[in-house]
């Protein structure tokens, strides 16, 4: 699930020929410079204690979470899914810019301090093997590796599989997303049984993918499931 050695080698070779430029300000030197990391848009202070949608009082429950049951304990995120985070994630995911995992994962690790979520195992949202083969890396796995590098949390990438090939969520409306994800994941019971799982994903918009993962993990016997994402879409309509 990691970046292939061929991809890493070709990246190192390209770096020798063309020094990296910051994906936001284009300054030469790093794939994402420290100044730009500092100014990326954070989530507002007052977010729903469960799903991180904006609310009036911090950690109160939003209207969505008051209305319906939710299989996750909580969804936390580092950034708001707005420009330039949106473009950065696009590059990271679709333009082979896997080197962005380091600064972005480091930012997630930094913001994880003080989140106060019970965790005994970290699981990245898996890609379907077909999509993994095409992309060559799983962006969520790379972020999870960074988080576990900075915090002593066990990484268990084999505990959850994507068992159904689904259309990319980005092509679908909010209503279709949940349907698209039904039965898409399966957990390995002996690995997840009794564990307090932290799912890692790059983006959370409607939460449909995380909900489907959480349902599979709870079916497999997990004690609880929370999620931590690089970015969260905070539009009130979602
Ligand atoms: Zn920059
Ligand atoms: Zn909520």
Tell me what the mean pLDDT of segment 191-197 comes to. Answer: 98
Q: Following DSSP, what letter does each residue of 17-85 receive, concatenated?
A: HS--B-TTT--BT-SS-HHHHHHSPBPPS-B-TTT--B-SSTTPPPHHHHHS--SSS-EEEEEESSTTH
Task: Kindly tell me if the per-residue pLDDT of 150 is higher than 50.
Answer: yes
Task: Kindly tell me if the per-residue pLDDT of 2 is higher than 80.
Answer: no
* Distance in Å, CA 167 to ligand 1 centroid: 33
Asked if 44 contacts 78 with a C-beta cutoff of 8 angstroms, the reply is: no
* Distance in Å, CA 208 to ligand 2 centroid: 13
Check residue 181 and give its pLDDT. 87
Ligand nearest the Cα of residue 238 is 2
Check residue 236 and give its pLDDT. 52
* Distance in Å, CA 148 to ligand 2 centroid: 27
Q: Whole-model pTM above 0.95? A: no
Check residue 238 and give its pLDDT. 42
Closest of 39, 49, 77 to residue 201, by C-alpha: 77
Mean pLDDT of the chain: 91
**CA angle at 95 for the pair 173 and 227, rounded to the nearest 5°:** 55
Cα–Cα distance list, 71 to 83, 102, 113, 196 (Å): 30, 30, 24, 13
Asked if 228 contacts 115 with a C-beta cutoff of 8 angstroms, the reply is: yes
Check residue 45 and give its pLDDT. 83
Token couple for 88: 């950065």
Q: pLDDT tens, 20-50?
A: 999 999 999 999 999 999 999 998 888 898 9
* Distance in Å, CA 30 to ligand 1 centroid: 8
The domains found in the chain, sorted by start residue, are 5-232 (3.40.50.2020)
* Distance in Å, CA 61 to ligand 2 centroid: 5
* Distance in Å, CA 84 to ligand 2 centroid: 24
């Amino acid at each position: 699930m990691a970046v292939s050695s061929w991809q890493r080698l070709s990246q190192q070779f390209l770096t020798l020929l063309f020094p990296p430029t910051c994906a936001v300000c284009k300054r030469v030197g790093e794939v994402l410079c420290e100044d730009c990391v500092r100014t990326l848009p954070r989530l507002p202070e007052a977010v729903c204690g469960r799903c991180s949608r904006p609310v009036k009082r911090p950690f109160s429950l939003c209207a969505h979470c008051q209305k319906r049951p939710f299989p996750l304990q909580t969804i936390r995120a580092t950034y708001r899914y707005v420009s330039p985070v949106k473009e950065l994630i696009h590059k990271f995911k679709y333009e082979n810019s896997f080197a962005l995992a380091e600064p972005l994962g480091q930012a997630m690790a930094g913001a994880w301090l003080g989140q106060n979520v019970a965790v005994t195992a970290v699981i990245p949202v898996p890609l379907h093997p077909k999509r993994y083969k095409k992309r060559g890396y799983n962006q969520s796995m790379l972020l999870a590796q960074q988080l576990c590098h900075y915090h002593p949390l066990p990484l268990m990438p084999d505990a959850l599989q994507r068992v159904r090939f689904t259309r990319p969520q980005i092509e679908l409306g909010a209503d279709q997303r949940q349907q698209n994800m039904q039965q898409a994941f399966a957990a390995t019971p002996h690995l997840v049984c009794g564990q307090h799982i932290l799912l890692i994903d790059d983006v959370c918009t409607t939460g449909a993918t995380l909900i489907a993962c959480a349902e599979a993990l709870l079916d497999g016997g997990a004690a609880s499931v929370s999620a931590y994402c690089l970015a969260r879409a905070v539009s009130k309509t979602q």
